[in-house]
């Protein structure tokens, strides 16, 4: 038996705003943007050069879903972005004035910082020790 985690749904306010942020600021690639109806699209993004799980950017469809934009994990770090270019990615976050809520620290296993995306979701940026 084999299983893979394919997509993680991330509730967003607006498709175009989210696509722009994830592709321009975080440098993800847009895998798919398919219109399903007048109000719903199937939008997938993932880090460039990765064959890993993709984010499904899911526009909030009602007030209940809107309440969870930016807080899908109850205020904890929600997503973990591994990199082999920590300094470059850190400088990119600074360039785009991304909110870094915990500056870079060296741990025994590597380096990490915590940032918030456009909606307030917390992310770890991690570079494992080589």
Tens-digit pLDDT string for the chain (130 aa): 889 899 999 999 999 999 999 999 999 999 999 999 999 999 999 999 898 899 999 999 999 999 999 999 999 999 999 999 999 999 999 999 999 999 999 999 999 999 999 999 999 999 999 8
Instruction: Provide CATH code, domain 70-130.
Output: 3.10.180.10
> Same fold for the domain at 1-69 and the one at 70-130?
yes
pLDDT for res 100 = 98
Kindly report the pTM of this predicted structure: 0.93
**Per-residue pLDDT reduced to its tens digit, 70-103:** 999 999 999 999 999 999 999 999 999 999 999 9
Q: Return the pLDDT at 29.
A: 97
* Domain spans in the chain, listed from the N-terminal domain onward: 1-69, 70-130
How are strands ordered across the β-sheet holding 99-107?
77-82, 122-128, 110-116, 99-107
Output the CA–CA distances (angstroms, integers) from residue 12 to 15, 25, 31, 43, 86, in the order listed.
Answer: 7, 16, 17, 11, 26
- CATH architecture entry for 1-69: Roll (3.10)
């Amino acid at each position: 038996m084999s299983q893979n985690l394919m997509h993680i749904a991330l509730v967003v306010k607006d498709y175009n705003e989210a696509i722009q942020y994830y592709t321009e600021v975080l440098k993800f690639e847009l895998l798919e943007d398919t219109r399903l109806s007048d109000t719903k699209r199937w939008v997938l993004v993932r880090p460039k050069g990765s064959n890993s799980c993709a984010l499904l950017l899911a526009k909030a469809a009602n007030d209940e879903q809107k309440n969870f934009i930016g807080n899908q994990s109850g205020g904890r770090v929600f997503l973990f972005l591994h990199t082999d270019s920590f300094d470059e990615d850190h400088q990119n976050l600074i360039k785009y004035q991304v909110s870094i809520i915990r500056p870079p620290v060296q741990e025994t296993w590597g380096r990490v910082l915590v940032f918030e995306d456009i909606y307030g979701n917390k992310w770890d940026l991690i570079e494992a020790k080589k």
